[in-house]
Amino acid sequence: MDIRTYGDPTLRRRAAPVEEIDNEILTICEQMVEAMIRANGAGLAAPQIGISKQIIVLDVDGQFHVLINPRLVETSEETEQISEGCLSVPGVDAPVDRATRAVLEGTTLEGETVRIEGEGILARAMQHEMDHLNGNLFLDRLSPARRRSLLKEYQRSRREEDG
Ligand SMILES: [Zn+2]
């Protein structure tokens, strides 16, 4: 399962809620976990493998979560700027301002509602993956000038890879 990259329309769509955790959903979750591990990522959202559904996986600091229909229920007022990248915009990163603490609620594969509190990188990964479910990318959070230069850098690195 390939990870979709910048320019793929699925990355810009608002993902649909999951109605029922059936075999199809379980298979999607397996594919997401595989893709995340293979890419050495801290998280992945279903749109990144071309599936417009509200599912995210997280793997940060020994915390591993598969969440269906996650909702960001709390974010701290306090923010911090940390350099951030995305498996769908490979090869580039930029400092992004995000809440230092966040709380997610969602459903596990067993159908239980869970609440996950995160700080630092976990809080950041939560907010990053939630952006994906809304059709947003980390570069949307940069200033226009910064975004332009990041995209230029990204396109240059892609050309070198193809070349
Ligand atoms: Zn991402």
63-72 pLDDT, tens digit each: 999 999 999 9
Residues annotated as catalytic are 129
**CB within 8 A of 133, min separation 6: which ones?**
14, 15, 45, 46, 47, 54, 56, 70
Report in angstroms the alpha-carbon separations of 138 from 11, 20, 46: 12, 29, 16
Cβ < 5 A residues, ion ligand 1: 86
pLDDT value, residue 162: 72
pLDDT confidence of residue 163: 62
Query: For residues 6 and 1, what is the distance between their CA atoms, to the nearest angstrom?
Result: 16
pLDDT at 90: 95
Q: How remote is the CA of residue 131 from the centroid of ligand 1, in Å?
A: 8
What is the distance in A from the centroid of ligand 1 to the CA of 60?
A: 14
Closest alpha carbon to 121 in 100, 143, 90, 148: 100
Distance 137 CA to ligand 1 centre (A): 7
Phi-psi region of 132 (alpha: psi -120 to 50; beta: other; left: phi over 0): alpha
CA separation for the pair 91, 144 (Å, rounded): 19
Spatial separation of the C-alpha atoms in residues 62 and 137, rounded to whole Å: 25
pLDDT band at 153 (very low <50, low <70, confident <90, very high): very high
By percentage, how much of the chain surpasses pLDDT 70? 99
**Pair 57, 33: CB distance under 8 Å:** yes
pLDDT digits (tens, 9 = 90+) for 11-28: 999 999 999 999 999 999
Report the separation in Å between the CA atom of 156 and the middle of ligand 1, taken as the mean of its atom positions: 20
The band of 161, judged by pLDDT with boundaries at 50, 70 and 90, is: confident
Averaged pLDDT for residues 132-154: 97
